[in-house]
Each structure stands twice: as C-alpha cells, then as structure tokens.
Chain A
Amino acid sequence: MDVEKEQQDYTTKVGLLREQMPPTNILLTKAGDLINWGRKNSLWWMGFGLACCAIDTIMIINQAKYDADRMGVVYRNTPRQSDLMLVAGTITQKMAPMVRQLYEQMAEPKYVLALGACAINGGPFYYDSYTVVKGADKIIPVDVYVPGCPPRPEATLYAIEMLRKKIMARGKID
C-alpha cells in the first residue's frame, strides 16, 4: 500500500539523517529520548474537578477497574507537584482566572487534557449561556482533546496514552 511505502520512505530518510548527524547530536537525541521516557512514565496529574466530568473521569481513573497508576499516572493535590492538568468540566468566567493561575503554577514541562465537550468548546452550554467560557483553549494551551459528555473513563485513558506518544515524539530536550 501507498501508506506503507511512504512510511518506509520516511524511516529511511530519518535513518539517513541520523547518519549525517555529528556524534554529539546523537548523544543529545538519546538523552532527550531517555528524559521523555521518564516524563511519559511519571505523569502526575492535578486533581481539579470543575464539573460533571470530574465524577466520571478524574475520580474514576485511579480506581480499581481502570487503574491509571500502572501508567505512572498518579494523583497529586497541588499544581506545584503536577505535570498534567485534567480540565474536567465547564469553565465559567468567574473560574477562568483561577484555571489560568493554576496552570501557571505548574512546573515545566506541563501538559493539559481538555476533558469533555465543555472543555473543548463550551459543549451544551455554548448557546444562551452568559457565563460559560467557550473552551479551555481560550485560556490555556491544550495538548489532547477528549470528546464526550462526559467522556468514558476508557476515553480518558486512551487520551493519556495519546499524550504519552506525543511526549515521546518530542525530539530534543525542551
């Protein structure tokens, strides 16, 4: 198939590029991979229940049936110790400055998951609502969007998996 061929071409190209790189760069790339590997396996998330989604995503994923701990996704209570922010629910205009402040309190590198329709664009509260902010990305950068109202816990776990892939895809230390 064409796709496979393209992928093969891409791999060969990357391989050629790597050969052309000076040794120091290879070392850096490998170090970056190592660090990213560490980052992806210790995503500590901040417990931050805004609305409905909090019950079915953030309270559930660390429970027995779903057990996000096995992916190194552990619950922390404070933004200072967290890498991952789960925006679970509707953001109102009154809450928006606090969300922004909490995001800024997190240490780099930091990632954001927008859980549910409300965090994507305001969801069911898009129309006729005078206080709801139409999406988390209006105030903070979002890495992965999870659709659903609310998303199933499996969807949240899948999103975390996507985020881990995204972290590994980052080449260098940044």
Chain B
Amino acid sequence: MSKLEEMKISNHNLSELEKDLALNGEVESTEDIVTEELAIHFGPQHPSAHGVFHAIFHVKGEVVTKIEPDIGYLHRCFEKIAENRTYTQFIPYTDRMDYVASMTNNWAYCMAVEKLAGIEVPERAEYIRVIVGELQRIASHLVFLSTAGSEAGALTPFVYFFDEREGILTLYEKICGARLTYNYIRIGGVRADAPEGWLDDTLAFVTRLKKRMYDYDRLVLGNYIFKKRFIGVAPFSAEQALDWGLTGPPLRSTGVSYDVRRSDPYSVYPRLEFDVVVKYKGDNYDRACIRSDEIKQSIRIIEQAIEQIPEGPVKADGIAKVFKPAAGEGYGHVESPKGDLGFYVVSDGTTKPYRVKIQGPSFGNLQALPAMSEGTYIGDVVLTLGTLDPVFGEVDR
C-alpha cells in the first residue's frame, strides 16, 4: 500500500471536527484532500507560551493529532537550594516560583514549616494573610483574563487589567515594599503590621473593582468573538480531570468541588462566607469564566476579613531567625490561584530542611494539555494552554 493510500484511509478515520472543514457545497468531503502529518515546534521562545515551554505539535491539516510537551527550560533547582538554606532563608526563593502569585507561595511554605515546628500564628496575622492572599488571587486572575484575551486577539483588555493590577501592586508596595517578590509572609506570622490606612485603601480598591467587574465581564467574557473562540473547545470530563490530576480552576470547571480553602480548611477561612465556584462543562470558556467569578468571591472575602480583623500582634513570639525544629515532617497546602499548592518539608533536627518537596499545581495542570487538546484545531491549542494558566517557574521549579 502506498503512502498516499494510507493517508486517504486514515483520513476516513478522522473525527467529526475534520468533517466540519468541508465547506458547504464547494467541497463535498475532505477525503480527496491529501494532508501530510507535520511536526511543528512550539517554543521555547513563543509569545503565547506563557514562558519557556517547548512542545512538538503533530498536525494533520489544521487538526492536532499529538502533542509532545518538553519542559525543564526553567529548572532552577529550588529543591536542591532549599536543602542548603535555613528555613527562613528559603522564603524569598518561594517568591520566585509562581511569580504571578508570590504571596500564596510564601504562605504555603510558611504553613508547612509551622506545621512541622508546631507554631501557632496570631489571629491578626491570619487575617492579614487572608487579605493579601485573596488580593494575590485577584491579581493572578487579572493577568489570566488579560492574556486569555490577547491570545484570542483582543489586546485592549490587557491595558485595562494591567492597570487594575497596578492598583494591587501599589497596595503591596505599601505593605511590604516590593512589587513582585514580596517575602512578606513569614514563619509564625507576617513581617510587619499593615501601615495606617492600608485596610481602608484596600477596601476602597475592592469596592471600585467590584463595580468595574461588570464591565470587564462584558469586555472579555461577554465578547462575541471571545465566546466563539472559547465555548465548547477542549472539553474535559470530571473523570478525566481527576485522572490527570488537575487542581484549581481547571478541576472545578468540570464539576468537582475541590478547593483547599473548604476541603482542608486553613487559616480563618472557616469563619468567612464565600462560595466555591464550580462549573460543569469543563471547556475553555468555563475555565475562563471561573476565574472571573473567583475574583468576585475574593472581593467578598476581603470585605469580610477587613470587617472582622482584630487588633493584636502579627507574629508569634520567640521564633528565632535560625531555629531547629524537631525531626519530623510537615505538609502545608493552600489554594493558590493556580490550584492546590503544597510544600512537604522533612526535618532532621538541624537548622536546614532535609528535604523540601514542592507540589506545583501548574505542573499537574500542564500535564493534561495533550489529553485536552488532541483533536482540536492548532489555533485553539494556545487558548487551551492559556486557560490552564501555567507559570513555568512553578512547572519547572
């Protein structure tokens, strides 16, 4: 059998999607069009790759038949470095992992060490952590919405959302002095109390954002072209999502209500009222919508937290900068904007961790990309990658 015949036969087996390609009346079927399978390199430098991601797309015409991801271009050896730093010295490194959501990384690591060493965190510090953590979720989701828009060709949201994000960065600068890498949440509390008027500024910011979210929803998610590009693309069922180990918004978009804030409650979340946003179709549009809805829930949480926040110390007493926790293990995880972010810290009784394992949600989520987008058009793969929202500092670690 010649190669040409092989191609023709395999064309018969292509999905329904391929049949849609046949234009009404002009081309009766795609059987006569002989397409050759091509391997296209995507990245490592690609403006839509969200970082340094390399993949080989095998395409037949417009349809992707196979994806071979290749990661590790940003493998910076966090876990090796952790073994050679004291517990406190490693906190700034966690900032640089998921650099779109540094605050939650600090939080997860500190929580793991606190569990390991049995440290109690003062109540005011817990509330401040919740406020900065939820602000971080808003900032990260704003970056998601702007990049999702720009990948679909809409460059305007980029300007709006980054402007809003500037507001959050200004708040962060006031509280900890840095724009991106905060090193603010410390073992046993936070570095310093919020400056005077900071809580009012935060409240003013979220109140303004709450009003604007309606417009932003219409700008991106309600946009006709955006809907056309996103609805029904790369759907995932709950079984598939669990099998592939998705966490965070991609998992919740399939109907599984797994949110660490509710499933394994930490900090003061049990006292705060909010909904875990769940969608059921699991397609790209649901994965995008869920982020917008989570911004609204985060605003709710921040409003309540500012209302409830008590006075008091913001750091547990008597925690030395260099300390020796008893030999043992600690696991702390938080619901980061990307998903279930966990740190597994093993101590051998010295000043340095014996082992720090980082459970990065982006790593787990990115793994599902081939299963999700094989059989879709090549133009949609970038959108699917975008809706998984991987950050390569965390994927490669």
Contacts and interface: CB of A to CB of B under 8 A. Distances in A.
A52 B45 contact: no
B76 A90 contact: yes
Contacts of B320: none
Interface in B360-397: 392-393
A29 to B, nearest CB: 38
B84 interface: yes
Interface string A106-127: 0000000000000000001101
A63 B163 contact: yes
B81 A128 contact: yes
A77 B80 CA distance: 34
Nearest to A125: B76
Contacts of A55: 99-100, 143, 180
A132 B44 contact: no
B158 A102 contact: no
B310 interface: no
Interface in B67-90: 72-77, 80-81, 83-84
B77 A130 contact: yes
A135 to B, nearest CB: 14
Interface residues of A, number: 33
Contacts of A63: 158-159, 162-163, 166
B179 interface: yes
Nearest to B147: A59
Nearest to A50: B52
Contact of A132 (B72, B77, B163): B77
A48 B180 contact: no
Interface residues of B, number: 32
A65 interface: yes
A52 B81 contact: no
Contacts of A25: none
B99 A52 contact: yes
Contacts of B95: 52
B84 A52 contact: no
A51 B393 contact: yes
A161 B153 CA distance: 31
Nearest to B160: A64
B74 A95 contact: yes
Interface string B161-172: 011001000000
A60 B96 CA distance: 18
B81 A92 contact: no
A162 interface: no
Contacts of A89: 74
A129 interface: yes
B166 A65 contact: yes
Contact of B75 (A47, A94, A124): A94
Contacts of A150: 179-181
A129 B76 contact: yes
Contacts of B77: 125, 128-132
B74 A90 contact: yes
A62 B162 CA distance: 10
Interface string B38-72: 00000011010001100000000000000000001
Residue with the highest number of chain B CB atoms closer than 10 Å, among A55, A59, A77:
A55
Q: What are the 7 closest A-B residue pairs judged by CB atoms, nearest first?
A: A52-B99, A129-B77, A56-B180, A95-B73, A63-B162, A128-B84, A77-B47
30 contacts: A47-B47, A48-B45, A50-B51, A51-B96, A51-B392, A52-B99, A55-B100, A59-B162, A63-B159, A64-B162, A64-B163, A65-B166, A92-B75, A94-B72, A94-B73, A95-B44, A95-B52, A95-B74, A98-B45, A102-B45, A124-B92, A124-B93, A127-B81, A128-B83, A128-B84, A129-B80, A131-B76, A131-B77, A150-B180, A150-B181
Given A47-B47, A95-B44, 16 more contacts: A49-B52, A50-B52, A51-B52, A51-B76, A51-B99, A52-B99, A52-B180, A55-B180, A59-B162, A60-B162, A65-B163, A98-B44, A129-B76, A130-B80, A131-B75, A150-B181
